[in-house]
Every structure is written in C-alpha cells, then in structure tokens.
Chains A and B, each alone.
Chain A
C-alpha cells in the first residue's frame, strides 16, 4: 500500500529519475504548480472546492439530522424533561407520554436477539476466519451469508409472520401461555437471524488479522487447532469480536419493519418474553403518520433522537475498535 500515495499527500516523493533532477519535480504539488500556472489554475481551485464540498455535504447531513431531531422534539423535551424516559404511560389522547415501555421493549428484543445469534455468528466467524478460508465450501457459506445480509427487512417480516409466529403459537399453547404468536420472542428470533451475517463477517475479518507466527508458535508447542482458536486467535482478536457484536447490537436496536410485523405492537411493558410489546422503532413506524397532536409527534421524534444517539454511540465505539485493530494488523 505504501506506494499508492495520493497526489495531494503532503510527503514529497523523491523523483524517480535522479539524472534529470532539474526537471523532475520533487513532488506532485510542485509539478501541478508549474504545469497549470495560468489557465489550469482556476479550474484547479474550483475542482478542489468541489471535492472539499463533497466532503462537507456529508458532515452537514449528519449535523443536520441531529439538529432536526433536537429542534423537532423540543415540545416534548420541554414538557416532560428527563421524566420522559421513566414514564410508563403512553396515552396520545390524554397527552401523556412516557417512553419506558418502548425502551424496555427495545433493549429486551435487541439483547435477546444478540443472545440467540451469538453461537451462530461466532461459529461462522471461526469457520470462515480459520477452518475454511478458501475453497468451494467457504465460498458457498460466505455467499449465502452475504445474500442473507442483502435480504430486505420486510421479507424477514413476511417469512417470520408465516413461519415463526405459528410455531411460537403452538409452543405457547403447549406450555400454557396466551397464544399470541407475535411478541418479544418472535421478534427476537427473526432479529437474530438478521444480525448473524453482520457480526459474523466482522468477526471473520478480525480473526484473519491474527498473525500466522502466533498460530504457528502454538502449533509447534503441540496445541491442537481447537486450542489455537480458543486460546490464541480469540484472545488476540477479542476486542474486535466484541466490536463486531456491538455493531450488530446497534443494528438490532434500530431494526424497524421486521420487528413491527412480529412484536405485536402493544404499548405496555411486556409481562414476559412471550407477551407482545413495542420497540422505539416499531412505535414510530406505527404511530407517526397518525400522530395529530404536536406533542405526540414531538414525543415520537424525541424517541427517534434517543435511538439515533444510542446507535451513533455504538457505531463510534465499534468502528473505533475495528479501525484500530485493522490499522495495527496490516502495518
């Protein structure tokens, strides 16, 4: 990678043709200065402004999103303050809004999904990151994993509605719960399937970063492959694996449509894991279009703001760890 310097990179590249040092510029910056002295100059500057503008646009979008969410949730922020987070009543017609049932629902479904997904995603990362790195079997599993990640959320909702819901209903009848079918557990199972590819592909990447020398060292001491995986590779890439799981959690917290189709959409703290509930995302999906009162709308936007802030923090945390690892590993 070292030879792919950008034209704008500050470090001057030594001229390759030492003999013609008089003509050969020490850096492209200087070369450009000489070549485009007159006519090219203006085009050059405009082009740089355009490029930099492209960078700024993205920053402006993110700042704008945060700002819009804050500004639009002001009525709710002013009316309830921090008590919004602890309130258990959500009564749009009475003008009373408390977010606790949805916060509980969101955390419950996301962590349950994470719990269900872990054995599968970890196995998948080890399989693709160590046992089968190449070959037709690896290609098949990897392709299936990538295609699974590309299936839209609404399709998971559709499949869940006609597959998981009847199954759960039968289970609930069997063990004596109210047979809703839809509920926290159904949403979590489908959510788990949805986030497996995400954490698995990140886990695979960090496992591949484990230096060969470390593994060979362990083998030469007589370790079995299992021991190399569990005592060398996993500890070495532990923070990266956790980061992948964290990013998958972020996905699960914000997932909307599949959850809306499967969670039962009941605005109350779920009594048990089989009961219907509501997540922040599914509540917004269900009520935003019907929200007439300003306060109702503002409360939903405040929930959107909360969701945005939480997922943003998770993204920053997860990506930070992954970036640090891949930079350290490849250099």
Chain B
C-alpha cells in the first residue's frame, strides 16, 4: 500500500508540473498568434504610398496612414513634454521623503491614477482640456491634439513617477554624502549628482510610458476625436494610429481592414522595438555601484 501511495504521489507530482507548463505556454501563445497574424496581414499592406498618403474618401481604394502617424507623433511629443517634468519632480519627492505622511497619500494617488480606467481619463480630458481650450480659442467645442496630448500625459504620470522613485531610491547614500561633504547644497546635489546618476532609470520609465500611450485609444475618443484630413495644427482634431485602427476595423470595407492591419503592424512594431530598446540598451547604461 505504501508503494502504491508513493507511486500515486509521484505521478501527481509529474502530472502537476506538466499541467502547469501546458497552461503557461497556452497563456503566452496568443502573443505569437497576434504578432504572427499582424505580420502576415500587415506587411502586405505596407509600401511607400502607405506612409506618405492620408486617408482616401470612403469607398475609394488606397490611402495610407500619414495623418495618423503625424497625429500620434504630435500626441506623444505633447504628452511627454507635459508629463516628464512633473513626474520626475514627484518621483524625486517620493524617493527623498519616504516616510512622510504626504508621500504616503501621494503614493496611493499614483496607484489610483494608474488603476483608473482609460475611458474615465477620456471623460476627464474632455472636461479639463477640450472645453477650456474651446472657450479660450472662442470656437465651439473643438477637439484638439493638445487636449489629447494632455490627457495622455495623465496616463504617463504614474509610470514615470514610479520608475523615477525606484531609481532615485537606489542611488547610494555615499554618493550624496560625498556631494554634501564638498559643501554642495542639497538642491544642487539632487540636480547634479542624483538625477544624472538616475538618468537611465528615468529614461526607461519615459520610454515605457511612451509605449503605453502610443496605443491608447479610449482617452483619445473625446479629446482628439479623429480627422479624415491631414492636420498638424495642435489646436485642431487629428487622426492617431490607435484611432485609425479602431475606426477602420469597425468599418465594413475590406480595403480599410487592410489599412487597419498595416497600421497595427506599424504600431506594434514601434511598441515592441521600444520595449526591446529599453531592455537591451537603456538598462545597460545604468551606473552600477
């Protein structure tokens, strides 16, 4: 009986491991599936015209993603310009004031922003940016790249804040001690010693945040809205890569589906390359102590 029991337990042991491996591989397989299909469908849509033309009138074959590329580029630029300074300051604050009451609440607030559904941020973008910009420019309700970029900036905040906090925390205290001992004021120590030493962590945080917002659609629906015409004026609505993929996928036209696949390929390639770049290059710059 004892032997039978052992055999069963060993059998269960082997079977359990097999089940774990099978389910785990099955869980990550969709990645290969999605990437493979996007590459298969997307590459055939790519050619020079695809990149240098905007959208064609509905029903006409052809057209490209230029509008969306320019729109997304401007959105990312505006979002980064708005988010990076604020979040680096907040990140340094959190790293330098680990035990204060305020830092405790700020950390919770950062988590709340991170957990917030993107569609809610879209509503906030409408209320905070679209309406005031419309009021300021005197036109009716105007969706704009500026409003979309600022909304996306809200999404970038928690990511950059967290990566900044983590990196600054790991700077050895001896480095700061050395600077202080030379008579350098605290603020100069932070600016000239701590921040440069944390650069790689901060940059990788920014790039990860860019990869996150590049594909965000929901916050753009009520802020940039989409535009069939080329636009590089940040006070006007524009198309963006995720918006284009969303709208074209939902349309009934095969040719638009083709463009959606092509755009998906470009977007995913951008995000993956960014991710790999962060892993392989940026994290290597890291000054080790």
Contact = CB atoms under 8 A, between A and B. Distances in A.
B119 A127 contact: no
B89 A312 contact: no
Q: Which of B12, B23, B110, B186 has the most CB of A within 10 A?
A: B186
Interface string B82-103: 0000100111111111110011
B30 A314 contact: no
A163 interface: yes
Given A152-B242, A225-B17, A226-B17, A7 B180 contact: yes
Interface stretch (A27-35, A166-174, A237-245, A267-275): A27-35
A303 B112 CA distance: 18
Interface string B30-47: 111110011000000000
B172 interface: yes
Interface residues of B, number: 102
B93 A307 contact: no
Interface string B4-23: 00000110110011011111
Contact of A312 (B21, B112, B172): B112
Given A54-B89, A256-B118, A288 B157 contact: no
Interface in A38-69: 40, 43-44, 46-47, 50-59, 61-62, 64-65, 68-69
Contacts of A200: 27
B99 A9 contact: yes
B245 A154 contact: yes
A257 B111 CA distance: 22
Contact of B28 (A44, A52, A145, A315): A145
B113 to A, nearest CB: 6
A35 B30 contact: no
Contacts of B32: 144
Contact of B187 (A43, A52, A120): A43
Interface stretch (B48-56, B73-81, B123-131): B123-131
A4 B169 contact: yes
A124 B109 contact: no
Interface in A97-125: 119-124
- Grouping DSSP codes into helix (H, G, I), strand (E, B) and loop, the B interface class, with mixed when no group exceeds half, is helix
Given A55-B90, A124-B27, A131-B17, A6 B95 contact: yes
A51 B249 contact: no
Given A47-B186, A120-B26, A281-B117, A315 B99 contact: no
Nearest to B105: A59
A27 to B, nearest CB: 11
B273 to A, nearest CB: 11
A327 interface: no
B201 to A, nearest CB: 14
A247 interface: yes
Contacts of A134: none
Contacts of B90: 54-55, 57-58
Contact of B27 (A120, A131, A151): A120
B190 interface: yes
Given A28-B180, A68-B128, A152-B242, A119 B217 contact: no
Given A123-B19, A200-B27, A224 B215 contact: no
Contacts of A9: 98-99
B187 A47 contact: yes
A261 B249 contact: yes
A-B pairs, top 10 by smallest CB distance, nearest first, are A152-B215, A254-B117, A54-B89, A123-B23, A315-B115, A47-B187, A120-B27, A40-B185, A54-B90, A144-B28
Interface of B: 9-10, 12-13, 16-17, 19-28, 30-34, 37-38, 86, 89-99, 102-103, 105-106, 108-120, 122-124, 126-128, 154, 157, 161, 169-173, 176-177, 180-181, 183-190, 211-212, 214-218, 221-222, 225, 242, 245-246, 249-250, 257, 260-261, 264, 267-268, 271-272, 275
Given A227-B13, A254-B115, 14 more contacts: A10-B99, A56-B102, A59-B109, A123-B24, A123-B27, A144-B31, A144-B32, A152-B242, A158-B249, A162-B37, A255-B117, A256-B218, A257-B246, A281-B218
